[in-house]
Amino acid sequence: MAAKKQSVHYGLELDLTPKVKLSATAKTISIALNRFTQEELSTFQRCLIGKAQKISYKSEQCDHFAQSLDFATQEAFDAFFTSLPIYLQKLIKAGCLNPFIDIRSQDWSVDENLIIEDTNRYHYYYLDRYTLNPTLRLGLFTIRSKNVLQLEEFFVNHFRPFLYKEEDYTPQPSPSAGGEVYSVQAQIHEVFPLFIESMIPLLKERDTKTIIRKGLLKVQIKDLRSLCGLPPFPLSSAYNLDPLVLLAKFVLAFETGKLKRPEDSMATIKALVQRMFFKAPSMSGFIFSDYFEYCSLVDQCSLNWNYAHSVAIDFASRKGMVNMLTCLKPDDGWYSVEELFQLFTVRGFRMRFFNEDVLDTALSIRGQKIQFPFAEYGSYDDKGFRPTTVLQRPLFERPLFNAYLYLLASLGILEITETQPPLLLTKNEKLHPLTPYEALDSVRLTEFGAWCMNMVEQRPQPKKQVFETITDKELLLVTFKGKSLERRLFLEQIGIPLGVERFRITEASFIRGCSSSSDIVSRIDKFKLIIDPDPSDRWKQFFASLEKRSTLFCHGEQVLLYTFPDDPEIRRMFATDPAFKKLLIRAEDNKVVVRKGNQKAFQKLLMEHGYLNTL
């Protein structure tokens, strides 16, 4: 460092020490350090260098410190890093993967306690009783609880590229994967139009906002599955995670127009995926696209709908998913989800909301205890656990990462495998997985997925459907051969299976599940569209009978049923009085039926005969 020079000019002593010459990288570091106070900078310097430079001006202190942190080569960083105490090296390595460090999670190669608790006096604030061990160099860390330290975010981002090289964490595909496979790539082009078509009448029962926030009822899921044929997840369905619910929330959140059956289902899926992952939320055109993750993908959490501030996701989280998925090759093999998440972290991405206060205020996970290999966590109130500090990664970041992959699997973009998840959460004295997304084990990118994510230009073509439907001209029988999901599901909906290929159609089976005559007409039209465009006279008579029957009992009126004691005088009154005869529809077995509109006239007439009616 240049020697300090001084000059006296008109009685003023001027410091003529030349400024430190910084490289472009060091200048960037100096600018980033400027947000810290001089006291904080001195603490950082003592931690990393062993002493703090006594400099009057903050800008100069930033420049000198930036020069110390400017590593031109990996060798220069290694020389610096290996000069640090072993415990500090371990803490920084752990903090660069996860800024929140549970000090019980490993051996730090130091005999002294990292955090010292003052038990001799009362402290108004909980954290005031804890201090960093002054004999150790821990100035980069902040105490978050009795056993948790947090590495300053600047040093996380600065040291990570030197400690964790991306090329060392590139996931390698495996030709096979353990667990149960879930794949809808082959049928998604058939399933998706049927799903949208089935969702349209369902929206009359459950509005868009309710579905996005709360999902679907079990009976609605059952009906949808019978109409579109989308299978459930092999294992996570036991923990109330269903692809139909993910699809319903996703489509309603990112479809800006009126819901209608798509003519080109594959193009529609790609447009929705592009809208989610490639367009900033403010440009997507629908309010729920901003809040999709909060409303729809954190099923493990209880949500605070009274939270008054923004719950929009940081768009960098979605971009990080795209960045990670681009390292996969279509149909190249199975990739470990654990390795993919590690790559996501090493590349500097995080799952986060724009407003990080959401985690501490608006989200909570019900339960009494969480058991990790190194420690047990207990809840302090009836709300359970907040996904913050050391619990942020296992309760929020990793589940949301998995939730994205489950969503893409339900769209046919990925194939996934599931294994039995560990039961780490104790809730109501029963063991549960931490979240519904814990069963996910490995993924494989499909050709359709590569096209949706803009990794290839050529659109994959679905296999051509080969099928035949034969309707008996005299009997109400349909024979179906070949493969067509829509036709098979429709025949299962309206008919009674006779073996594998034949279906018997009756009046009762055809109208099964209908709630109005228009539903029956729609089924007849669909039969003519996909089963037999020119049905025989027998089928035409059958359809005409169905339409006639659908209107026979469509008119009715409200009536009141009165019961009276077995009294001959009352029966004689009803039988002989002409006024009663006009009001009563029927009278027998000590019961009379009166139209609801005639209730007051009936009561008045009873009072004229000395009977009080208070119904």
Whether residue 191 is predicted with pLDDT greater than 90 in this model: the reply is yes
Q: Write out pLDDT tens, residues 309-367.
A: 788 899 999 999 999 998 898 878 999 999 999 999 999 999 999 888 899 888 999 99
Query: Mind listing the pLDDT tens digit for each residue in 19-62?
Result: 678 889 999 999 999 999 999 999 999 999 988 777 778 888 99
What's the pLDDT at 524? 92
Confidence tier at 2 by pLDDT (50, 70, 90): very low
Quote the tokens at residue 153.
């975010």
The CA–CA distances, whole Å, from 247 to 210, 222, 413 equal 14, 14, 13
Q: Return the C-alpha torsion angle 287, 291, 296, 298, nearest 10.
A: 180
Q: Do the beta carbons of residue 157 and residue 164 sit within 8 Å?
A: no
% pLDDT > 70, the chain: 94
* Torsion, CA 187, CA 192, CA 198, CA 203, rounded to 10: 150
Q: What angle do CA 295, 387, 33 make, to 5 degrees?
A: 105
**Nearest CA among 388, 483, 590, 571 for reference residue 186:** 483
SS3 504: strand
Q: Torsions phi, psi of 572, nearest 5?
A: -65, -40
User: What pLDDT does residue 119 have?
Assistant: 78
Percent of the chain predicted with pLDDT > 90: 54
Cα 353 from chain centroid (whole Å)? 14
Comparing 17 with 350, which gets the higher pLDDT?
350
Q: Structure tokens of 422? A: 């560990």
User: Tokens representing 326?
Assistant: 């681009």
Q: For residue 500, give the H/E element and its range.
A: none
141/152 Cα distance (integer angstroms): 6
Judged against a pLDDT cut of 90, whether residue 287 lies above it is answered with no
pLDDT tens for each residue of 75-121: 999 999 999 999 999 999 999 999 999 999 999 999 999 999 887 77
Cα→Cα distances 109→90, 91, 95, 147, 362, Å? 9, 10, 16, 16, 38
pTM of the model: 0.85
Region 444-461: mean pLDDT is 93
What is the spatial distance between Cα 197 and Cα 221, in angstroms, rounded to a whole number? Answer: 14
pLDDT confidence bin for 8, thresholds 50/70/90:
low
Query: Mean pLDDT over residues 560-587, rounded?
Result: 83
Tell whether the torsion through CA atoms of 262, 187, 182 and 235 is positive or negative.
Answer: positive
Cα–Cα dist 530/190, whole Å: 13
By C-alpha distance, which of 396, 321, 317 is closest to 350? 317
**Whole-angstrom distance, CA of residue 342 vs CA of residue 165:** 12
State the SS3 of 276-297: HHCCCHHHCCCHHHHCHHHHHH
Query: pLDDT for 488-529, tens place per residue?
Result: 898 988 899 988 889 999 999 999 888 888 888 999 999 999
pLDDT band at 181 (very low <50, low <70, confident <90, very high): very high
3-state secondary structure 226-274: HHHCCCCCCCHHHHCCCHHHHHHHHHHHHCCCCCCCCCCHHHHHHHHHH
**Is the predicted pLDDT of residue 382 greater than 90, yes or no?**
no
Is pLDDT larger for residue 463 or for residue 76? 76
